[in-house]
Structure 1
Amino acid sequence: MSVEVGTPGTPAGTPTQPPTHHFHATPDHASVALQAMNKLRINTQLCDIELVAGAVSVFAHRVVLAAASAYFHVMFNSDLVEKTQERVALQELDATALELLVEYSYTGEIVITEDNVQVLLPASSLLQMSSVREACCKFLMKQLHPSNCLGIRSFADAHSCGELHTRSHRFALQNFSEVCGTEEFLLLPFKQVEELISSAQLNVPCEEKVFTAVIAWVKHDLPERQKLVPQLLKHVRLPLLNRDFLTSNVDAEPLVRENSACHHLLLEALKYHLLPEQRSTLTSPRTQERQPEGVKPYLFACGGGSLFAIHSEVECYNPRTDRWMPVASMNYRRSRAGVAALGRYLYVMGGYDGACDLSSAEMYNPSINKWINITAMGTKRSCLGIGVTNGLIYCVGGYDGASCLSSVERYDPLTGIWTSCPAMATRRRYCRVAILDNNIYGLGGFDSTNYQCTVERLDPRVGKWMSVPPMMSRRSSSGAALLGGMLYCVGGNDGTMCMSSAERFNPRRNTWEPITAMHSRRSTHEVVEIDGFLYALGGNDGSSSLNSVERYDAKLNKWVLVTSMLARRSSVGAAVLDCLQLERGLAKST
């Protein structure tokens, strides 16, 4: 680039004075100069330093090394003896790494591979060449795999690579099901095994996987590790194990049975199983579901009907993208079913298939995008209310094909067993259920004669239904959910029409109060809570099935429309399930 500078403001046609300055710049001068110096280095010309690593000698120019490396800058500009030496031995450096880093000092380019990264990273750390060190860390992050993540984590720890250590540890937690089957896991020291299995963010399909991993690790070096079983077992969430596994595998395992220090942990788990009514008092870290990092809530809409069709199809909504997508269909067509989420799974109970009211039930596993049949209820139930508390699913009221029901039964996924519970005082078809302070609230419904505004509450520990102040309006087939410690009841049918109005129960004041009405009239719809908002979806407006969805903001007391479902669904069932990378799981299953 050249710029001539003359006398400004000279009239046209007037002879100009010769320029007094001329500025010239070559943009690629630095790179051209370094290329020339690199050729001199390669030809061992004008070199003033010889670096030795093992049997390898590398010639270079001090000024280039000092510019590229803080380590060499200090060496050549201080009172160290190396300042004046023409030959410097670097005992701690790998020869290959030294050659690559010296070349990088001249070219600014380096190829990092699986073969050289383990010598390049410590060498670049020693020579304080931060850009190469960071590039090595990024390369290793891309190489993370269940078979190597523990080794990379250990390597990162040894070389104080904080972000790489964090990422590899997080990867090990996310992929523990595969990691625990590797040789690297079996060779881990006790503290690192304990760190993994004690994490609340450990991602496992079931807690049985953690117990199996612990026993495998102990048996890999039984004489040395046998004494560590109690310390590791206290981090396994034994109460959340399937009962058959608990009795057939844990209690039968000699390492557990023959160790008295493990007995109180096994007793705690058995007590949790045998006394489900007392689970709210048996709280400890071992009774809490793990929450892996990256878990996000998704809204699932299951079954329902439109015109003369009843659906088995299921779709789910991602509130972060405002998008619906199909997932695996249920094994049976169902409308008027109860849908609930518990742990990692979605459960659908009962309903109506177009010909019969159902007692059958099924469970959806999002990690494999598949529905699995589970133990049927003791009673056929459609139009039921459903709620989850203390690891139990309560199915309340409904219709058995002949009469409205007041009966209640609960399902324990740990045992696969249904148990009868105290019946409500009122028969309720199309009632709704919500859980507040571990109490089960039954709201509204139809008793075969009257549309109800009454509400009753069951404390499972007491085993008796108690009256609660009635709602302001009669509501059958409404939507109910908990938000901000208050119980919301939205829409429904009062016996004369479908309603858009809504109200909420304030437990501190023990009163109901109105809120803003929805945009649409809705009955046989669902209402759920996600991230501090209520979502009302589907249902019937009195003339047609709906696919519209609206969201309620309690702070603004306002409903807004969001993206509609893919299908129209009256008598829909819905629940919110926390899933880990659901879209990726769906892609793998197709």
Structure 2
Amino acid sequence: LRQVDPMLARHNECTGTGTSDRRTRPPPPPPASACTSTPPSSIIQQQVITTTTATAATSATTDTAALTDLTDLAGEPACNDDSKDNDVPDEASEGAGCCSYVDTPKPCHSAVLSGSGGSIRASASTSSSTASSTTLVAPRRICTLKVKIFLIKHLSKLVACNKKMFLPVKSSTSPVGNETTNGEDVTTVTCNSTQTPCDLSPPNMSNDDILPQAHHQNPGHCIASFSTINRMRQNAQLCDVTLEVGGETINAHKVILASVSPYFYAMFNDDMLERNCDVVTLHDIDPSSLKQLIEYAYSGEITITEDNVQVLLPASSLLQIQSVREACCKFLLRQLHPSNCLGIRSFADAHSCKELHSRSHRYALQNFQQVVGTEEFLLLGFNEVQDLISNSQLNICSEEKVFVAVLNWVKHDLIERKKHISELMSHVRLPLVNREFLMNCVETEALVREDPHCKELLLEAMKYHLLPEQRSSLVSQRTLERRPEGMRSYIFAVGGGSLFAIHNECECYNPKTNAWMTISPMISRRSRAGVTSLRKLLYVVGGYDGENDLATAECYNPLTNEWINITPMGTKRSCLGTCAFDGLLYVCGGYDGASCLSSVERYDPLTGVWTSCPAMSTRRRYCRVAVLDNCIYSLGGFDSSNYQSSVERFDPRVGSWTSVPSMTSRRSSCGVAALDGYLYCIGGSDGTMCMQTGERFNLRTNAWEPISAMHSRRSTHEVVEANGSLYALGGNDGSSSLNSVERYEPKLNKWTIVTSMLTRRSSIGASVLECFNLERGLLQTSI
């Protein structure tokens, strides 16, 4: 390296470097002779740089400066030992700085190289152009040392910036002769450049990575091939196994059968007798099903019908063809009906179809009222009947249906089934049946009277009916209501009034779908009525029909979409408060057409009897009531002279009313609901205006605290709780009746507008009732 500076100086002297522009100076004529004795280590026999013309022209990362230096080096003459040997140091002749030459005369041409900074023109003596590539050849006299210096300085940069130059180029067109047909997709990758020298290859890239490649894909290949193989099977061509079943033979290919069926795979691969047999006999499988499954193995298609599903599912289970087995199960699920769900459940259990068994069992529970009237139910075994009637998710409108179902099943084969009467009756929740049914049907039934255990169950039910105050101490599995799976909360809005009209039309709201739908109208027109839900029924009591205050009451059954009258109250009441607690319905205060009331009544749906309860300490008209922490709260109202802010609560276990802290505002015709340990009072009227503010009573702090205001002013409206939110429905804003509805989120302390009711309603009655698939029930009852 100590010779570098003298050599460069010598080179500059020979070539005149520094006195003119090297890129534009033509090279001098070559010398007459060249050095023929050159050390092998410093000989550059021929430096060839080959690159694809198209690639060089399109590369966006070529270093123009580096290409310029390369062009200069190729175009300028090197030192000649013969002509300038007096100026070269002695060490150079020993190889330290010796100049070597390659005598390769070339015709004069020129080529343009493109880089990131533009184009440069190389000497014609260093390039040769063709249609597909440009070859740069070093001049016949090149200074070896400077080539080394250039390579050390620029080669790594050239390679790093021009990796694309060394990679194959994707062709945008298909090669001639490779046109695609029959929908075939072909992607071809070509490389037009010559092989890159290994010393110029990109780092970490093997020669295999730059070979030309082509990817061909025919989407229809598998279908066409299997179709051909299936025709060969049908013609008994190249088949290597024959299946015998039920006196019939089926030709097939082992490899196809083994690829579809784990059963055949094990047969033809494991140490089994059939492994080397050309004829295999199968047992316990339907011949027609086997033919369908073999056809499925070749075509991937099969037809499932009501006629073949009961043999196809067992056959697919035996051969372990899971896809067909699952298809059969899905087909049976679509066929579920009250008349066949029990049979499908038994069929699924016999063939270990867990999902089918689970869903058919759930279907039977959800449609029990229709299922008990079918022949399949009467043919069930004892364990299956017991499994059904003991389930707490049984969907029934009343426990009487279960009692009747048990009697019908026992009497279907009385001699064999009479012994099961006591055990089955223990799963009937007799305390929840109607008192009239208990006395007229249960007590008079001979099977019940003759069995000692059944008589004990009857006495337990009678005690529950006769001592309503002690029901909380008589809690057992038979006193708990059944709760079907899939029950949803629906908001029912009934009655009310608008301009010059009293309604009996009713509608319900599904919070999940944010949609309202109509239900059957009430028997009587009612405004200012009390509404609550109890034991899967909706109760409407009292109210005003446009002429009189009412004592009548009616209840709605969502399973039948029907209203029926129930026992009237002892007193006419409108503008009353209503709630349900511990299986009983309570009504408080109201207006009887002459004065405001403080009296309280209680209705027992099991007995159909109204009884009086201790009266409130204050007369209240347009009061609202709710249940919180096992107590009944009565809030606000109007006492014929003043709008009230007072609040009192009733403890049914003690049978007395006590005062609690008053609200911060006077409120009559407000909306009241309990949620998460709070008692909410929203809107109403203070005697001067309709209100949109709200507040809640904190049971832990025994104090009232404000909440955010509604979007609209409301009085004579209703507030109900559903799915952890409060809903304010209808009412009057001081100028007109409303059909708008707002939802309150306690965690966000925020009101949002939801879908409005179908009818404007003030003095509305509303409550939440849990139903199972109410939309489907309404559709069925309307047909």
Question: Taking structure 1 as the reference length, what is the TM-score of the superposition?
Answer: 0.95
1:175 to 367, 370, 387: 367
Partner of 2:220: 28
C-alpha offsets along residues 331-356 of structure 1, whole Å, 9 cap, x if unaligned?
A: 22211110111122211111111221
Percent of residue pairs bearing the same amino acid type: 66
Residue 290 of structure 1: CA displacement? Answer: 1.4
Residue 282 of structure 1: CA displacement? Answer: 2.1
Residue 21 of structure 1: CA displacement? Answer: 6.9
Counting only pairs closer than 5 Å after superposition, residues 59-98 of structure 1 correspond to structure 2 as 59-98=251-290
- Per the alignment, do residues 23 and 540 of structure 1 end up closer, same or farther by CA in structure 2, a change over 3 Å counting? closer
- Per the alignment, do residues 85 and 273 of structure 1 end up closer, same or farther by CA in structure 2, a change over 3 Å counting? same
How many angstroms apart in 2 are the aligned matches of 1:574 and 1:188? 43
Greater relative contact order (CA < 8 Å, ≥ 6 in sequence):
1
The answer to whether the aligner puts 1:428 opposite 2:644 as a matched pair is no
CA contact (8 A) 2:397 2:557 kept: no
The answer to whether the aligner puts 1:110 opposite 2:294 as a matched pair is no
CA contact (8 A) 1:295 1:578 kept: yes
- Per the alignment, do residues 28 and 499 of structure 1 end up closer, same or farther by CA in structure 2, a change over 3 Å counting? same
The answer to whether the aligner puts 1:528 opposite 2:720 as a matched pair is yes
How many angstroms apart in 2 are the aligned matches of 1:319 and 1:364? 20
The answer to whether the aligner puts 1:346 opposite 2:538 as a matched pair is yes
Residue 192 of structure 1: CA displacement? Answer: 1.4
For 2:327, give the aligned amino acid.
A
Residue 9 of structure 1: CA displacement? Answer: 7.6
Higher mean Cα deviation, 374-383 or 510-519? Answer: 510-519
What SS class does the counterpart of residue 542 from structure 2 fall into?
strand
- Per the alignment, do residues 25 and 538 of structure 1 end up closer, same or farther by CA in structure 2, a change over 3 Å counting? closer
How many angstroms apart in 2 are the aligned matches of 1:227 and 1:267? 21
Between Structure 1 and Structure 2, how many residues are aligned?
Answer: 582
Partner of 2:106: none
Residue 194 of structure 1: CA displacement? Answer: 1.2
C-alpha offsets along residues 463-496 of structure 1, whole Å, 9 cap, x if unaligned?
A: 2222222222221111111100221111112222
Partner of 1:124: 316
2:580 to 388, 394, 403: 388
Partner of 2:688: 496
C-alpha offsets along residues 8-43 of structure 1, whole Å, 9 cap, x if unaligned?
A: 489xxxxxxxx9776554322222221222122222
Partner of 1:513: 705
C-alpha offsets along residues 228-284 of structure 1, whole Å, 9 cap, x if unaligned?
A: 222211211111111111111111112111111122321221112111222222222
How many angstroms apart in 1 are the aligned matches of 2:556 and 2:537? 6
Partner of 1:567: 759
1:244 to 419, 436, 439: 436
1:207 to 399, 403, 406: 399
Counting only pairs closer than 5 Å after superposition, residues 440-519 of structure 1 correspond to structure 2 as 440-519=632-711
Partner of 1:51: 243
For 2:638, give the aligned amino acid.
F
The answer to whether the aligner puts 1:263 opposite 2:455 as a matched pair is yes
Unaligned runs of 5+ in 2: 1-183, 195-210
Partner of 2:414: 222
How many angstroms apart in 2 are the aligned matches of 1:586 and 1:91? 50
CA contact (8 A) 2:497 2:761 kept: yes
Partner of 2:521: 329
For 1:589, give the aligned amino acid.
T
Partner of 1:185: 377
- Per the alignment, do residues 572 and 4 of structure 1 end up closer, same or farther by CA in structure 2, a change over 3 Å counting? closer
What SS class does the counterpart of residue 551 from structure 2 fall into?
strand
For 1:377, give the aligned amino acid.
M
The answer to whether the aligner puts 1:416 opposite 2:612 as a matched pair is no
How many angstroms apart in 1 are the aligned matches of 2:573 and 2:215? 90
Work out which of the two has the higher radius of gyration on C-alpha atoms and give 1 or 2.
Answer: 2
Residue 556 of structure 1: CA displacement? Answer: 1.1
Partner of 1:317: 509
What SS class does the counterpart of residue 348 from structure 1 fall into?
strand
2:326 to 134, 157, 164: 134
For 1:492, give the aligned amino acid.
G
Task: Kindly report the root-mean-square deviation, in angstroms, between the aligned alpha carbons of the 2 structures.
Answer: 1.8
What SS class does the counterpart of residue 550 from structure 2 fall into?
strand
CA contact (8 A) 1:276 1:390 kept: no
Higher mean Cα deviation, 407-416 or 378-387? Answer: 407-416
What SS class does the counterpart of residue 518 from structure 1 fall into?
coil
Partner of 1:15: none
For 1:198, give the aligned amino acid.
S
For 2:449, give the aligned amino acid.
R
1:99 to 291, 310, 320: 291
Residue 541 of structure 1: CA displacement? Answer: 1.8
Residue 182 of structure 1: CA displacement? Answer: 2.1
Partner of 1:16: none
- Per the alignment, do residues 480 and 20 of structure 1 end up closer, same or farther by CA in structure 2, a change over 3 Å counting? closer
For 1:123, give the aligned amino acid.
A
Partner of 2:775: 583
Residue 49 of structure 1: CA displacement? Answer: 0.9
What SS class does the counterpart of residue 289 from structure 1 fall into?
coil
For 1:509, give the aligned amino acid.
T
How many angstroms apart in 1 are the aligned matches of 2:731 and 2:742? 12
Residue 578 of structure 1: CA displacement? Answer: 1.1
Partner of 1:13: none
How many angstroms apart in 1 are the aligned matches of 2:525 and 2:587? 19
What SS class does the counterpart of residue 658 from structure 2 fall into?
strand
Unaligned runs of 5+ in 1: 11-18
- Per the alignment, do residues 494 and 55 of structure 1 end up closer, same or farther by CA in structure 2, a change over 3 Å counting? same
1:300 to 492, 496, 501: 492
C-alpha offsets along residues 189-241 of structure 1, whole Å, 9 cap, x if unaligned?
A: 22211111111111122111111111111222223322222221121111111
Question: Taking structure 2 as the reference length, what is the TM-score of the superposition?
Answer: 0.72
CA contact (8 A) 2:242 2:279 kept: yes
CA contact (8 A) 2:188 2:214 kept: yes
How many angstroms apart in 2 are the aligned matches of 1:541 and 1:35? 74
Residue 45 of structure 1: CA displacement? Answer: 2.3
Residue 6 of structure 1: CA displacement? Answer: 4.0
Partner of 1:277: 469
Residue 437 of structure 1: CA displacement? Answer: 2.6
For 2:612, give the aligned amino acid.
S
How many angstroms apart in 1 are the aligned matches of 2:192 and 2:620? 95
Residue 448 of structure 1: CA displacement? Answer: 0.9
Higher mean Cα deviation, 144-153 or 531-540? Answer: 144-153
